[in-house]
């Protein structure tokens, strides 16, 4: 089966008004356009282009894809967040069901019983916070707070307290917990922190975030996190427990088919810091950058340590046809530039232009991609 699918843009407040229209040529809605989902998740199932009243789930007889492919356009920062692993998701979903919390309730943490590892690949310059800095780097930051001449005694005292926590057993977790539970009590600290941006570039992010969410503990937490800037086609893989926040830019995002998000700050949405603490991985390690692997001319693989999905970038041209690709499962292909022609061994064929997507079933297994453009293929590895 080869069928073109589409969806309407989600209008989350952090979405960009112009990134999706400008990049893909999709008509603007007059409001934020944050995400377009190409999958079967009940939160926003894709539909058939030729039969808009029929969802992809309907077409597949109720079958659910294991992954969810998205276009993501961040015009302002998303929340500081993390996603649960499989065991945490199943337990949380069961617990909230038992508590009688409706699935659409604003205070619901777990919308389903699945984990949500994800990869984000930049289409434009893309900015994110991802994982904690090293203990050494955080210690140096707090030492700068403590010894800074341009701050109050109260600022230095609180910073010294945090520095002491960092050096205790499980210090990073204790530091994070102390900061994140100070909601409503950091207006003065954040104001002093952002004032430092006038002379020191390292405080510019705090100033920027505090303008949007004044006094939010997430402003301080952001200072503890790795600040990452991706160029087009560069990628990050975010496993369960990774603390992160996207700050701006346009990207392709692929994840396990879940909508479970635990938020801790920088958002007007539901925040549950205790549950967030339970799912965060407090290991301070290397940035989880993904190093793409060129399998052949025009075919690039983005390796991720999960079995829910595979991600490839295809770049056919007039001189380069990706013929008889043997994909290991059903997939969704999204065209992000130019025009690509997709055909299968049964003679089915369709053309995808920027922003258009198609579902390809597992049988037949041989597909050819031609044309001149760029596409991303998300695959469910069932064999």
Active-site amino acid positions: 263
Residue 282 burial class via C-beta count within 10 angstroms: exposed 0-12, middle 13-18, buried 19 and up: middle
Residue 347: is it exposed, middle or buried by C-beta count within 10 angstroms (0-12/13-18/19+)?
A: exposed
- Count of C-beta atoms within a 10 Å radius of residue 203: 20
As a whole number of angstroms, the distance between CA 99 and CA 113 comes to 15
- The enclosing H or E element of 379 equals strand 366-379
**Which residues are CB-neighbours of 314 under 8 A, at least 6 positions away?**
298, 299, 300, 322, 333, 340, 369, 374, 375, 376, 377
* Ramachandran assignment for 62, one of left (phi > 0), alpha (psi -120 to 50 degrees), beta (any other): left
Q: What's the CA gap between 222 and 246, in Å, rounded? A: 11
């Amino acid at each position: 089966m080869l069928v073109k699918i589409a969806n309407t843009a989600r209008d989350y407040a952090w979405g960009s008004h112009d990134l999706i229209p400008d990049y893909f040529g999709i008509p603007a809605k007059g409001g934020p356009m944050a995400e377009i989902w190409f999958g079967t998740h009940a939160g926003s199932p894709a539909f058939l282009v030729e039969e808009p009243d029929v969802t992809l789930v309907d077409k597949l007889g109720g079958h659910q894809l294991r992954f969810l492919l998205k276009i993501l356009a961040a015009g302002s920062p998303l929340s500081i967040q993390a996603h649960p692993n499989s065991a945490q998701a199943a337990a949380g979903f069961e617990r909230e069901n038992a508590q009688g919390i409706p699935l659409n309730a604003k205070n619901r943490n777990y919308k389903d019983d699945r984990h949500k590892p994800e990869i984000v690949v930049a289409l434009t310059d893309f900015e994110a916070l991802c994982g904690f800095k090293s203990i050494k780097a955080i210690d140096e930051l707090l030492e700068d707070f403590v010894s800074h001449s341009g701050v109050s005694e109260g600022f230095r005292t609180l910073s010294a307290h945090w520095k002491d926590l960092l050096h205790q057993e499980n210090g990073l977790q204790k530091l994070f917990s102390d900061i994140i539970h100070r909601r409503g009590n950091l207006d003065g600290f954040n104001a002093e922190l952002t004032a430092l941006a006038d002379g020191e570039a390292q405080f510019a992010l705090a100033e920027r975030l505090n303008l949007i969410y004044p006094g939010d503990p997430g402003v301080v937490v952001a200072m503890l996190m790795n600040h990452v800037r991706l160029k087009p086609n560069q990628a990050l893989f975010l496993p369960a427990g990774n603390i992160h926040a996207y700050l701006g830019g346009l990207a392709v995002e692929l994840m396990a088919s879940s909508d479970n998000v635990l938020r801790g700050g920088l958002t007007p949405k539901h925040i549950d810091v205790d549950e967030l603490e339970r799912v965060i991985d407090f290991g301070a390690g290397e940035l989880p950058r993904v190093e793409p692997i060129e399998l052949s001319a025009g075919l690039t693989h983005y390796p991720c340590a999960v079995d829910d999905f595979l991600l490839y970038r295809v770049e056919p041209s007039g001189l380069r046809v990706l013929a008889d690709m043997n994909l290991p499962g059903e997939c969704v292909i999204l065209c992000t530039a130019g025009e690509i022609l997709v055909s299968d061994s049964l003679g089915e064929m369709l053309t995808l232009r920027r922003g258009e997507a198609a579902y390809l079933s597992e049988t037949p297994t041989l597909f050819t991609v031609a044309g001149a453009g760029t596409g991303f293929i998300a695959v469910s590895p069932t064999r």
